[in-house]
């Protein structure tokens, strides 16, 4: 058996060709790019202020100058949506990076060394899987929210805390799939050959094992961004995430639900923003899985 044939090269042009031909993927990718661009550049281009209060236009319905209306304080909803999206997306990406780092590290250690290291790390992973996620996140934010806010500043403190907690509770599936990948790869001829030739462990991991599990990890990373974004929105929706002057999409929904009878449009914009972002991220992850990880199809 040719050694080269066993390696999956994630950078192959074939992957992009396969993805580009698919209409759903193009749509999801386009939508996601649009959202990311709007959120990144929008606040510079759109002149409306997200924080100016004007009670004369409180709960104003969508109009020409206020495309998404105004909230109970008369603040411009479109401007808030654009600024808030930055934070929501930043939380999603940062929490994903943390989850991936922990997951790959634990999975690689367990899969590479096996024996008691594997056993104890996997028990640890199982314990985390059995933890009640949302209640625990709420508990940690409740207990550590104020001190962290004091130490790192109002906005940055809660950002760091939320990202750490969400990332710290979402690494388990990655750890499991990296470990499973390592365990089966270790038995393969090309890895055995590399070890027999005297390659040091770090080299075996870096150039033989990791590249072969990167496909599923990319898929998991994509889905993790969506999950983290949902988790942050849920927290903010329960009123326990960011403070009211930081308009994340979840927080905007939390504020909007009190005016659901008089101003239902306040619910639609942030709700749709979360829904469309998560939907396009999930679609993308699903399609990537079909291409990068055909075994799990």
The CB-of-259 to other proteins minimum distance in angstroms stands at 11
Q: Which is nearer to other proteins, 34 or 127 (CB)?
A: 127
In angstroms, the CA 10 to CA 211 distance is 8
Contacts of 49 (CB under 8 A, 6+ apart): 75, 76, 79
Residue in the structure block whose two tokens are 């940062």: 94
Q: Which is nearer to other proteins, 36 or 276 (CB)?
A: 276
Q: Which is nearer to other proteins, 48 or 167 (CB)?
A: 167
The CB-of-274 to other proteins minimum distance in angstroms stands at 6
Query: By CB neighbour count within 10 A (0-12 exposed, 13-18 middle, 19+ buried), where does 210 fall?
Result: middle
The CB-of-2 to other proteins minimum distance in angstroms stands at 27
CA distance from start to end of the chain? 25
Query: Using CB under 8 A as the criterion, which residues of the chain lie in contact with other proteins when the complex forms?
Result: 126-127, 129-136, 138-140, 142-144, 146-147, 226, 230, 233-234, 237-240, 250, 253, 256-257, 260-261, 264, 267, 271-272, 274-275, 278-279, 282-283, 286, 297
Which residues on neighbouring strands pair with residue 76, listed in sequence order? 70
The CB-of-276 to other proteins minimum distance in angstroms stands at 9
State phi, psi for 249 to the nearest 5 degrees: -60, -40
* 80, 247 Cβ separation under 8 angstroms: yes
The CB-of-89 to other proteins minimum distance in angstroms stands at 15
Q: Which is nearer to other proteins, 48 or 277 (CB)?
A: 277
Which tokens go with 96?
A: 């994903």
Neighbours of 21 (CB within 10 A): 9
Q: Which is nearer to other proteins, 201 or 239 (CB)?
A: 239
């Amino acid at each position: 058996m040719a050694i080269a044939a066993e390696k999956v090269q994630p950078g192959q042009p074939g992957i992009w060709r396969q993805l580009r031909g698919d209409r759903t993927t193009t749509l999801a990718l386009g939508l996601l790019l649009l959202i990311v661009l709007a959120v990144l550049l929008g606040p510079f281009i759109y002149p409306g202020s997200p924080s100016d209060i004007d009670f004369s236009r409180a709960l104003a319905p969508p109009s020409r100058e206020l495309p998404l209306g105004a909230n109970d304080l008369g603040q411009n909803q479109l401007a808030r949506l654009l600024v808030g999206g930055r934070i929501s997306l930043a939380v999603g990406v940062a929490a994903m990076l943390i989850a991936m780092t922990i997951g790959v590290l634990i999975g690689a250690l367990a899969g590479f060394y096996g024996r008691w290291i594997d056993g104890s790390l996997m028990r640890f992973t199982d314990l985390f899987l059995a933890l009640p996620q949302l209640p625990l996140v709420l508990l940690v934010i409740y207990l550590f929210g104020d001190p962290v806010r004091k130490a790192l500043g109002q906005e940055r403190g809660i950002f760091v805390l939320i990202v750490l907690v969400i990332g710290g509770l979402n690494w388990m599936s990655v750890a499991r799939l990296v470990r499973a990948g390592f365990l089966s790869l270790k038995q393969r001829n090309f890895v055995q050959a590399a070890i027999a030739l005297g390659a040091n462990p770090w080299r075996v991991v870096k150039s033989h094992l990791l590249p072969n599990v990167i496909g599923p990890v990319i898929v998991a990373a994509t889905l993790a961004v969506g999950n983290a974004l949902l988790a942050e929105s849920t927290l903010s929706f329960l009123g326990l995430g960011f403070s009211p002057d930081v308009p994340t999409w979840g927080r905007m929904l939390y504020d909007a639900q009190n005016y659901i009878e008089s101003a239902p449009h306040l619910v639609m914009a942030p709700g749709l923003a979360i829904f469309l972002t998560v939907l396009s991220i999930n679609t993308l992850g699903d399609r990537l899985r079909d291409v990068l990880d055909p075994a799990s199809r």
